Amino acid sequence: MAECARAATARAAATASAAAATASAAATAMAAATALAIFGLLGACADESKLRESEMIQLLALLPGRYDNSEQAASDAGRGARPPHDLIALIIVKVYTPRLGHHLFYAQEMAADDPRRVMSQKMYSFQVDEKRGIVETVYQFVEPLRWRDGQRNTELFTSVVTEDVQAEGCQLLWKKSGERFIATHDPGVCPDAAGAAPQAELAAGVLSIGDYKFRKTR
């Protein structure tokens, strides 16, 4: 919002400078028009911010749940794909972790046929940035075993502090497209190759991460 307001003020200043060179009556009229333009631009900025907030709430409502890629694994087996995708179960739960932000999730990947075989543990943090839109930061744990199976006891994550995690270098930017959300890397930090597939996609009951295609089971 602040960035948008600065842009509006800059445009208004340019208009006011031009108005100063005209006659007094014309300058007064121009000043009034400039004021209206400022209010219009600020209103547009506010509307844009509200839209992004609304879209983020929709995304966050879709995300949590238990997923697996059993359909993808079965398709690989039927086609004789080599190498086939591992059969993965993914659990994503909302957690309260105030030291990392307002919208946090714990995500744990496990072998679908053996939940004791944990493959990854991460935290997802979401926020709206006025320049970039919906931004996701992915965190890795410094000591993963401390937080293993945290989906069974989400209160555990209230104690997470910044020293317990390390942010991955490439943030994800999410945009709504129709009924789904698409995530790509922040091009200012980790630009994706031209024509590359999105890093992640989310729709009702379906989540893709890289080339893994998950479906929500509950």
Model confidence over 177-187: pLDDT tens digits? 999 999 999 99
On the question of pLDDT at 10 being above 90, the answer is no
Q: Which of 83, 59, 84 is nearest to 73 (CA)?
A: 84
Amino acid 35: pLDDT = 55
Q: How far apart are the first and last CA of the chain?
A: 37
- Average model confidence (pLDDT) across the chain: 87
Which of 16-25, 124-133, 152-161 has the least mean pLDDT? 16-25
Between 29 and 178, the more confident residue is 178
Model-wide pTM > 0.75: yes
Distance separating alpha carbons of residues 69 and 206, to the nearest angstrom: 10
- Answer positive or negative: Cα dihedral of 85, 91, 94, 98: negative
Residue 194 banded pLDDT, cuts 50, 70, 90: confident
Handedness of CA 65, 129, 138, 162 (dihedral sign): negative
Q: Assign residue 80 a region (left: φ > 0; alpha: ψ between -120 and 50; beta: otherwise).
A: left
Statement: residue 213 has pLDDT above 70: yes
Residue with more model confidence, 195 or 74: 74
- Kindly state the percentage of the chain with pLDDT values over 70: 79
Adjacent-strand bridge partners of 110: 89, 118
**How many other CB atoms are found less than 10 A from the CB of residue 30?**
17
| pLDDT per residue as tens digits for the range 82-139 | 999 999 999 999 999 999 999 999 999 999 999 999 999 999 999 999 999 999 999 9
Query: What pLDDT sits at residue 195?
Result: 86
Q: Residue 19's pLDDT is what? A: 45
